Amino acid sequence: MECISVFDMLKIGVGPSSSHTLGPWRAAENFLAELRDQDIIDSINRVKVDLYGSLSLTGKGHATDLAIMLGLSGADPEYVPVESIDVIISAIKNKKEIFLGNEIIIPFCFEKDIVFNRNFLPFHANGLTFTAFTDSGEYSTTFYSIGGGFVVKEEEDKSSETIKCAFPFPIEKATELLEFCASENKKISEIVYENEKSMRSEEEIHNELLRIWDTMLECMYIGCHTEGILPGGLNVRRRAYDMHKNLIGVLPYDNPYSWLQNIRQTEVKFRQILKWVSCFALAVNEVNASLGRVVTAPTNGSAGVIPAVLMYYLVIENHNAGEKEIKQFLMVAGEIGSIFKKGATISAAMGGCQAEIGVSSAMAAAALCELMGGTPEQVQMAAEIAMEHHLGLTCDPIGGLVQIPCIERNTMGAIKAINAAELALETDAKNAKVPLDKVINTMWETAKDMNSKYKETSEGGLAVGVGLADC
């Protein structure tokens, strides 16, 4: 059984895509680590990268090539200053060389040394092969970006079944989570906390969860205060800025936390609530679309849903909420996401957008439901309702960019999550007809039946119905 931490499901990185940007970036870092293990990095005179399947078909729009260059340069997506990204990329392109792992300068022509192959590798839709050349031979290795920034090699994935989970409460299915909650008389967040304590100190858990929230809050803040056109050629105008300007009023603030306090003082009629939640989600994914720093939740393309719903709770539902509730929310969300990953997929290249927005909506619905007083059974019911109404959702980004329909889709996922939580809270969970495990299995079966052109290839749906020329 696989141990998946909250911090595996909620990662800090750079947009626009967890599977097509963050994953390849991490794969490049892993490749560098292998070169160091082989003790050949100093003798390399050329590096070539082959992209396959979905990584090739939508890689340009998802900045896959840029992420690989950044990864090969030794930059870390979690900590690299986002303002330095253009500088690093421009230097590589202009000089036609790369400072490999910050250790050795070698020739590198990104037009020739990153190859887009349309064919798919059999193991996963997102495959990429790195080849390093030396005077005495070459070294080649293949990675797969399986969604949410997770990267594996085929042999590692096959052997994962033999790895024993060290959690005190190992969970693969939703039913197992409920059994632990019942036997231990704990909430879902409390079970998750016990598992996390087997890997980290309480202080580390506290600090990392709040660092994740700080990144989410800062992302919303930046998105709400940045206007202009998103990069990529679709000429998509940022909307969070104008929407926020109309909502916030004239109250003064100078940082994300005073901003949050001011939002608590704004009007809270139904229409304003809808607008605020949508504004938060739009803001995150506009930052994501412009290579900004976001939290994969569980992916970059769906990064706006969870922060928007948590912000909704903080500024609308409970003005007294603080660090305790934030940590509780993130732990529940992470656990629900991990169950989806184990039982299905969080990769749009494998499952369509139901695997991204659907899963993020289920994560957010469950987390909100617990904060609102829901039982573990109601929490799982909220997740099930949210996913049930995303089943079959396709991934068909226009121009291969994480913009249309991706950005708006986060607002839909957030609103559905809130609705799902409220429905679950008003329902006796004993009367639920569809268990969470069943909807996860159904999502996976739907994913396998879905035509590949609706799985992040930009070969169907809106991606062909609306062209760049229309934009």
Which pLDDT does position 251 carry in this prediction? 84
Q: What is the pTM of this model?
A: 0.93
Which pLDDT does position 249 carry in this prediction? 87
Taking 90 as the threshold, does the pLDDT of residue 415 lie above it?
Answer: yes
CB 230 within 8 A of CB 238: yes
Q: DSSP letters of 211-232?
A: HHHHHHHHHHHHHHT--SB-SS
Q: DSSP letters of 406-440?
A: HHHHHHHHHHHHHHHHHHHHTS-GGG-SS-HHHHH
Give the bridge partners for 131, in sequence order: 48, 140
Q: Which residue has the higher pLDDT, 9 or 159?
A: 9
* Chain centroid offset of residue 410 CA: 12
Give the bridge partners for 151, in sequence order: 145
Which pLDDT does position 162 carry in this prediction? 40
- Across 159-180, b (16+ Cβ under 10 Å) vs e yields eeeeeeeebebebbbbeebbeb
CB 143 within 8 A of CB 127: yes
pLDDT-derived band at 134, boundaries 50, 70, 90? very high
Residue-wise pLDDT tens digits, 445-465: 999 999 999 998 989 999 998
Nearest Cα neighbor of 280 from 252, 249, 319, 310 is 310
Taking 70 as the threshold, does the pLDDT of residue 468 lie above it?
Answer: no
Which pLDDT does position 160 carry in this prediction? 43
Which pLDDT does position 163 carry in this prediction? 45
pLDDT-derived band at 470, boundaries 50, 70, 90? low
Sort strands 126-134 and 137-147 into parallel, antiparallel or unpaired.
antiparallel
Taking 90 as the threshold, does the pLDDT of residue 388 lie above it?
Answer: yes
Residue-wise pLDDT tens digits, 328-372: 999 999 999 999 999 999 999 999 999 999 999 999 999 999 999
Taking 50 as the threshold, does the pLDDT of residue 94 lie above it?
Answer: yes
Which pLDDT does position 466 carry in this prediction? 83
Residue-wise pLDDT tens digits, 201-241: 999 999 999 999 999 999 999 999 999 999 999 999 999 99
Task: Quote the tokens at residue 113.
Answer: 């040394």
pLDDT-derived band at 166, boundaries 50, 70, 90? confident
pLDDT-derived band at 118, boundaries 50, 70, 90? confident
pLDDT-derived band at 159, boundaries 50, 70, 90? very low
Q: Is the dihedral of CA 341, 342, 348, 349 positive or negative?
A: positive
Which pLDDT does position 471 carry in this prediction? 61
If you average pLDDT over every residue of the chain, what do you get? Answer: 94
